Amino acid sequence: MEKKNQAQEINRRRFLQTGSVFAATAIFLPLSTYKAFGAGNFSQTEISIPTVTLNNGLPMPILGFGTNTLKGEICVRSVSDAISVGYRLIDTAHIYGNEEFVGAGIKQSGIKREELFITSKLWVDDSGYESTKKAFETSINKLGVEYLDLYLIHRPRGDVKGTWKAMEELYEEGKIRAIGVSNFEPDQLDELMTYARIKPALNQIETHVFFQQPNAYDFLKKSEVQMEAWSPFAAGRNDIFSNQTLADIGKQYNKSIAQVCLRWHYQRGIVAIPRSTQKAHMIENLDIFDFELSKSDIQTIAKLDLNITQFPEWE
Ligand SMILES: NC(=O)c1ccc[n+]([C@@H]2O[C@H](COP(=O)([O-])OP(=O)(O)OC[C@H]3O[C@@H](n4cnc5c(N)ncnc54)[C@H](OP(=O)(O)O)[C@@H]3O)[C@@H](O)[C@H]2O)c1
């Protein structure tokens, strides 16, 4: 995509999303240089990535790009490709060991910093007041940025209270635009909120059709904390990409299993951050805003819930 096409015109419009009550903004991203491929319908010349509004008023794209396991040149190219096809939300973490490659991909994309929404996460080894401040500086230096849009406590371990205090201060200094958590159970989030001066904006948790997290969903909605899905495709586990139920649903709309999964997250108002190293998949995963899963599709997908993590090794 030409650089000048990348300088996106950002249109904002409010709308009510099916099945949820949050107001959103649409960022229009011209994709006119891309041709139709695979299951995607690319007759359109523009796609739009709506945003959710976090509880501090910050808009965040509802669909972004995950980078876990991406390293080196593959990471640089994937991040740069993702940005070139329209992603603006990029998710990384200190523990992924790729912040410098993500930063290089961002630089290579040529997109202005302020057009991006960059998330990183504080690993458990760095928990505590002083170490959080240091770890934050390390992360932004590796990424080559002056601020983060979102900084999360990666796991509810160690000195969460000290960590949160440091994150609140970084937020107040304008170095982070929103602060939140990841992998927090409702009771752990409740506890944090007893002493937090600044309420967490978001909780990033494992969520996909095989682990739908209805309790966390209700709790986060009630608490006005945005839910974000990690591994929205269960990282391919449980043969998700050959699941017949999802394939049958997709066939009705000429959409792929990946697109059905991402549309399902979108209709629930959940931010999703799929990872891919393939440009064709990246484009396909953005093409979810021109169809709607029916009530009966949603009921069918509800039956796929195994109500158990697909990543027991991380428990
Ligand atoms: N907070 C946490 O504790 C936590 C934990 C895990 C993950 N995360 C975040 O969540 C992000 C996403 O999760 P994930 O990386 O575990 O996996 P994922 O996004 O659920 O799945 C990635 C896999 O799906 C494949 N894929 C992507 N698009 C596809 C398509 N259209 N058709 C077929 N296959 C497709 C990719 O292969 P190709 O490369 O071939 O496309 C890759 O193998 C991570 O990258 C990370 O940023 C956070």
Class of domain 2-314: alpha beta
What is the whole-number distance in angstroms between the Cα of residue 276 and the centre of ligand 1? 6
pLDDT in the model for residue 53: 98
Range of lowest pLDDT (25-39, 57-71, 229-243): 25-39
Q: Quick: pLDDT tens for 25-61.
A: 344 333 322 222 222 333 333 467 999 999 999 999 9
The first and second tokens of residue 221, run together, are 């909605």
96 has catalytic annotation:
yes
Number of residues assigned to the chain: 315
Rounded to a whole number, what is the distance in angstroms from the first to the last CA of the chain? 41
Pocket test for ligand 1, best of 69, 150, 233, 309 (most atoms within 8 A of CB): 233
Q: What are phi and psi of 294, to 5 degrees?
A: -80, 170
Distance separating alpha carbons of residues 106 and 81, to the nearest angstrom: 9
Instruction: Please report, as a single letter, which amino acid is at residue 274.
Output: P
Of 96, 151, 253, 266, catalytic: 96
**Whole-prediction pTM:** 0.89
Closest C-alpha among 19, 3, 11, 14 to residue 301: 19
